[in-house]
Structure 1
Amino acid sequence: MAKNDELQELLQTKNITKRATVQAIEELLYSPIPVLDHGFIRVVDYMGDDSSIVQAARVSYGRGTKKSLQDKGLINYLMRHRHTTPFEMCDIKFHIKLPIFIARQWIRHRTASVNEYSARYSILSNEFYVPEKANLSPQSTINKQGRSTDTLPSEVADRVLSIIKNDSINCYNHYVEMMNEDESGNVIDENNIGITRELARINLTLNTYTEWYWKINLHNLLHFLALRADPHAQYEIRVYAQAMLDVVKAWVPYAYEAFEEHKMYATSISRKGMEVIRQMIDGKKIDQESSGMSKREWDELMVNLKP
């Protein structure tokens, strides 16, 4: 069955359930949300909603109120005071298509269940990520793992894009040649024997697209998003995180609002940092040297205190 036919069949399937459902997520189910040039995320299943968080938190209290404002207040309290287990009562499963080099960065978050497309069993499609010209930047001189804010000269960017495209195409063609199979698995030359798929794949470039199912609870998802939707995260993983933020907002709006307030746009201040702030409030003059903080700590605090 073709992927589009399978998708249409899933979209037309109607299920009856007694469990909590969220209409906004029901409308998103199975529909791909485009990311990058060939990537996407799509929700394939979920469990729980805002009320599930409240229900879990109130187990120890007995029956609680069902008023939405009080539920919202409780969720804010839980988020603010780092009571994480109620948020673990909600789960979501995504189908994600992403470049291999982003998948390898992503998999460092070891708090999800993952099942990836097998390139030992199947043939990877001839799709690879090519950055937009505007997203090509030199290496940062102050951050060993980040981009500079400078842009590349146009002729340099054109040359880089040409190299990426040509290498990707050449490596994929050699991948097919070594297997002696085309993208559909058909033998190319009946007189030749190809090597196994598990070996041929080692010649593919890291911008080749892979796919996986990724299931995670809400607490760990929010931790992932706090790191990967941050402006300091790599652009290519950040756009996936931003798409997921929109899903979370539709799924658990109260939890999303609490997350934005207490995690996403909040900051953590050390004991020394709090002492500096107290002295500033008292009108005392204090600098990095007298604060007892390292230059990096001091600079980070000053950035956080800027209006």
Structure 2
Amino acid sequence: MEQIERPVVPALDAILGQQFKVLDNGFVRVVDYMGSDDSIVQAARVSYGKGTKKVSEDRGLIRYLLRNWHTTPFEMCELKLHVRVPMDCWRQWIRHRTANVNEYSTRYSEAIDAAQVTAPDGWRSQSSANRQGSAGVLDTAIGEELTAEEERLLKHSRSVYEKRLSAGVAREQARKDLPLSTYTEAYWKVDLHNLFNFLRLRMDAHAQLEIRSYATVIGNEIVSRWCPVAWEAFVDYRLNSVALSRLEIEVIQALAGNNVAGAVRLGIEAGLLDENGSPLKQSRERGELEAKLARLGIACPWAQPAVQSAQ
């Protein structure tokens, strides 16, 4: 019988238990792991059966799997993290339900005496184009006032909480007025396939800054050491790639053929532009198309004089 050895990743072993600081009082650290790049290859090749020839080198196979959305081999790798994260950020994190989680309980233990404080230059303004996002930062003078007010609020809420505990109030009830900026801790165990899904969404520029900070550390500092070949493929085919819809392909094809009027007509038919070929005020799909064109270095067709010829 073939002897099985547990995959070992020296680069990850070197940081096992090491805390990577995130935000002001948060951290991420690796508790344990299972598998490596080799485990992905092993899982993929077992499906070929006995006697099947080796179809590619390991790196090429991993890149093929990720490129073509063959996900199960990546589920053979698992990572267990210990994280300290603000409760409001954790609410977004826990929505990724494809993981095993055990969180610090403020029913059994006193709440962690730490809360995230926003720096004076870190207060963001509400985006006018995205109801759940931010855009730019407020003036530092305003930020200094907001930060000072926040610090007073946090100090008072903690004082109230501790006064309730001293009075004998049950921990499960005493906690109810703690702010969402209070840090919580959790063990989070996830396979590589679902971790990539998490990172794809949370490392995106549209993700909230706080959770994006955690995702960036997990990806750049941990996964890159753990499964470097799979990480490279993920960066190439997920993180830094551009997915195109049928409409977007047709618009680009029209532009490649110098048919600006045709591209505009497609936008009108799809409801991205009004009947005159002018951009509609509310069209998230059009905005995404424009961003993709800009990234590909292609001029937006409805911003050109030739738009008039589409009428």
Q: State the TM bucket, normalised to the shorter chain.
A: 0.7 to 0.9
Residues 1:20 and 2:7 aligned together = yes
Q: How far apart, in 2, do the equivalents of 1:261 and 1:18 lie?
A: 30
2:131 to 144, 162, 177: 144
* Alpha carbons of structure 1 residues 280 and 287: separation in structure 2 relative to 1, 3 Å: closer
1: CA distance, partners of 2:287 / 2:84? 38
> Does residue 118 in structure 1 map to residue 94 in structure 2?
no
In the TM superposition, residue 91 of structure 1 has moved relative to its aligned partner by 0.3
Using structure 2 for the length normalisation, give the TM-score.
0.85
Name 1:48's counterpart in structure 2. 35
| Alpha-carbon separation, structure 1, partners of 2:63 and 2:293 | 23
Match of 1:166 among 152, 176, 181: 152
| Distance of 2:81 and 2:54 partners within structure 1 | 30
Structure number with greater CO (CA < 8 Å, separation at least 6) is: 1
2:119 is matched with which residue? 132
Instruction: Say which SS state the counterpart of residue 204 (structure 2) adopts.
Output: coil
User: Distance between the aligned counterparts of 1:34 and 1:178, measured in 2?
Assistant: 31
How many Å separate the matches in 2 of 1:133 and 1:208? 19
**Correspondence for 1:273 among 248, 255, 259:** 248
Q: Does 1:303 align with 2:291?
A: yes
3-state DSSP class of the match of 1:24?
helix
**Mind listing any 5+ residue stretches in structure 1 that lack a counterpart?**
1-16, 181-192
Matched, 1:74 2:58: no
Match of 2:207 in 1: 233
More deviation, 44-53/131-140: 131-140
Q: Deviations 1:232-274 (Å, cap 9, x if unpaired)?
A: 1111111100000121111001100110111001121111111
Corresponding position of 1:255:
230
Residue 299 of structure 1, CA deviation: 2.9
Q: TM-score, normalising length from structure 1?
A: 0.86
Cα pair 2:86 2:115 within 8 Å, conserved: yes
How far apart are residue 65 of structure 1 and its match? 7.4
Report the counterpart of residue 175 of structure 2 in structure 1: 201
Distance in 2 (alpha carbons) for counterparts of 1:243 and 1:22:
18
CA contact (8 A) 2:255 2:263 kept: no
Cα distance between partner residues in 2 of 1:26 and 1:243: 17
User: Does structure 1 residue 284 correspond to structure 2 residue 271?
Assistant: no
Count of equivalent residues: 277
CA contact (8 A) 1:288 1:298 kept: no
In the alignment, the residues of structure 1 paired with residue 217 and residue 111 of structure 2 have an alpha-carbon distance, to the nearest angstrom, of: 24
| Secondary structure, aligned partner of 1:138 | strand
Aligned to 1:154: 140
- One-letter identity of the residue aligned with 2:233: A
Contact 2:84 2:183 (C-alpha < 8 Å) held by counterparts: yes
Identity within the alignment, %: 43
Structure-1 separation of matches of 2:97 and 2:204: 19
